[in-house]
């Protein structure tokens, strides 16, 4: 997926995927949600997320109904770290951001 946000290009095909996450719901469940953390060659982070009609990625489609969708969300380094702390693998966090104090 490609998207231009604030004059900057975000492209899942040219960025490095750092970590994948999903909420464990699959198939036709309207609450399904998946996110991938990416890092651009410029060092910027972003999330590519997708989900069902009852997920945070839902979009209104008229007549009081919604549909599943996907989106790209730019992140600061601190936001990427927070995402990794809550949804990522500790080893992947250390590989990306380095050691942390105990």
Residues 6+ apart with CB under 8 A from 3: 9, 10, 11, 71, 72
The angle formed by the CA atoms of residues 42, 47 and 51, to the nearest 5 degrees, is 160
Please give the model's pTM, rounded to 2 decimal places: 0.90
pLDDT by residue (tens digit) across 57-85?
Answer: 999 998 889 999 999 999 999 999 999 99
d(CA 100, CA 94): 8
d(CA 61, CA 68): 10
Domain spans of the chain?
2-97
pLDDT at position 41 is: 96
pLDDT by residue (tens digit) across 7-59?
Answer: 999 999 999 999 999 999 987 899 999 999 999 999 999 999 999 999 999 99
CB contact at 8 A, 47 and 90: no
pLDDT at position 46 is: 98
């Amino acid at each position: 997926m490609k998207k231009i946000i604030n004059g900057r290009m975000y492209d899942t095909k040219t960025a490095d995927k750092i970590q994948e996450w999903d909420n464990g719901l699959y198939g036709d469940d309207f609450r399904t949600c998946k996110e991938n953390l990416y890092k651009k060659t410029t060092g910027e982070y972003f999330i590519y997320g997708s989900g069902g009609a009852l997920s945070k990625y839902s979009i209104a489609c008229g007549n009081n109904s919604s549909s599943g969708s996907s989106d790209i969300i730019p992140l600061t380094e601190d936001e990427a770290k927070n995402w990794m702390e809550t949804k990522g693998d500790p080893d992947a966090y250390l590989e990306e951001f380095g050691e942390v104090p105990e």
